[in-house]
A and B are shown apart, each in its own frame.
Chain A
Amino acid sequence: MVRVRDNRDKVAFAALFTHFAPRIKGYLIKSGADATTAEECAQDVMTTLWRKAEQFDPTRASVATWIFTIARNRRIDMLRRDRRPEPEDLPWGPEPEPEQIHVLEMQQEAARLAQAVATLPPNQRSLIEQAYFGDLTQAQIAKETGLPLGTIKSRLRLALDRLRHAMK
């Protein structure tokens, strides 16, 4: 990703595309898009990544996380045509030369988190997925699943606690 950002390297871009475009498409289909729309939007997301590469900061987010945020914004636009307000940059701004150690830490944390998400118990995992992919609020998930809102909240909390624990 850094090679895409700093050198506008298309070979590196193709490698990112091969890894992430099928994942973005899968995410969009789970969110309710048909295959054609998901294909188009996945291409849009990868084009946006190329265009906004300058904003990628490896000390703040892994590549997967950054791509997730672009895909999520594209999905909001696709499903609801809403604008998506974003917070402004911090007053002190990003560091000009990110320290390699912080980049490494972020990569390790992302790997641990991915591992923790992969090993969640199925009922917690499916709720987290619905919360992220379903375009539903917690109250709407309660309605949809027939589970009481309290149960949804406590299962989500359990799942998040597990993830937090894994990050320590």
Chain B
Amino acid sequence: MTQPDITSPSGTAIRHHLNEATLMGYAAGTLPEAFNLIVATHLSLCDRCRADVQAYDAVGGALLEDESAALADESLAQTLARLDADPKPAGRKKTATGDFPAPLQDYVGGDLDAVRWRPLGMGVKQAILPTSKAATARLFLIPAGAAMPDHGHNGTEMTLVLKGAFLDGNDYFARGDIEIADIDVQHIPIADVHEDCICLAVTDAPLRFTGILPSILQKFFRI
């Protein structure tokens, strides 16, 4: 989705946003963990999508109002008893400083300097993040001016820029921008020349690299 001139909390203009199905899936709770991670990270940078998710949450609230199932007899008494047994009230959520928003820092175990990179060749590096197997989340480092290996893919791939920027065809993606590529899109992101590009990429199917890596190595590198 493209809409110009939206200012994010960090003050930069985000031009490439999440699509409707993804926003709704996040609110409904039907996305794989890796996609929840990229959505939560984008929302941390983007007011517009955050407001959209709140609207989809509200649809869930409205649907909830129409449901009903009889409770067990002791239900309220049991719950009231648990309130007293329960630990201290939870505090508010934290706000992160640094290159990575809080939800991403939780998965990395820190900010950019805590990432444990593995080289992929041509200066490109990746780090796979621990999520459930239904989809894969990993960080990429693409050296300034370098291209990601040429690849197509079987499923949906989303790429969120965290630092630097990349070009894909005529589209420019900077911090906070998210690129959504569906089945059979052949795309070649190239990092902007000014600095190395760090991005978070998630896929729900293994990538098929047609460039530098033969398929046996794909398995080895989990790309």
CB of B57 within 8 Å of the partner chain: yes
B20: contacting residue among A54, A129, A157, CB under 8 A? A157
A87 lies within 8 A of B69 (CB): no
B51 to chain A, nearest CB (A): 10
CB of A85 within 8 Å of the partner chain: yes
In the complex, A92 Cα to B9 Cα: how many Å? Answer: 9
Taking A85-B41, A88-B44 as contacts, is the C-beta distance between A39 and B71 under 8 angstroms?
yes
CB of B79 within 8 Å of the partner chain: yes
B57: contacting residue among A39, A55, A61, A153, CB under 8 A? A61
Could you say which interface size class chain A belongs to? 35 or more
Per-residue contact bits, chain A 1-36, to B (CB 8 Å; 1 contact, 0 not): 000000000100110011011111111011000010
In the complex, A156 Cα to B24 Cα: how many Å? Answer: 10
Which residues of B from 47 to 70 have beta carbons under 8 Å from A?
A: 47, 50, 54, 57-70
Per-residue contact bits, chain B 75-88, to A (CB 8 Å; 1 contact, 0 not): 11011101100110
B82 lies within 8 A of A68 (CB): no
B134 to chain A, nearest CB (A): 8
A39 lies within 8 A of B64 (CB): no
A82 lies within 8 A of B132 (CB): yes
Q: Which residue of B lies closest to A167 (CB)?
A: B55
CB of B30 within 8 Å of the partner chain: yes
In the complex, A150 Cα to B40 Cα: how many Å? Answer: 27
B49 to chain A, nearest CB (A): 9
Taking A39-B75, A46-B79, A47-B83 as contacts, is the C-beta distance between A69 and B69 under 8 angstroms?
no
A–B Cβ pairs within 8 angstroms, 19 of them: A21-B75, A42-B71, A43-B78, A51-B90, A54-B89, A54-B91, A61-B54, A67-B61, A69-B57, A72-B27, A73-B29, A86-B93, A87-B44, A90-B50, A109-B58, A117-B62, A117-B63, A129-B63, A135-B30
Q: Which 10 A-B pairs have the closest CB atoms?
A: A65-B61, A26-B67, A87-B43, A88-B102, A64-B61, A85-B40, A85-B103, A26-B69, A68-B60, A117-B62
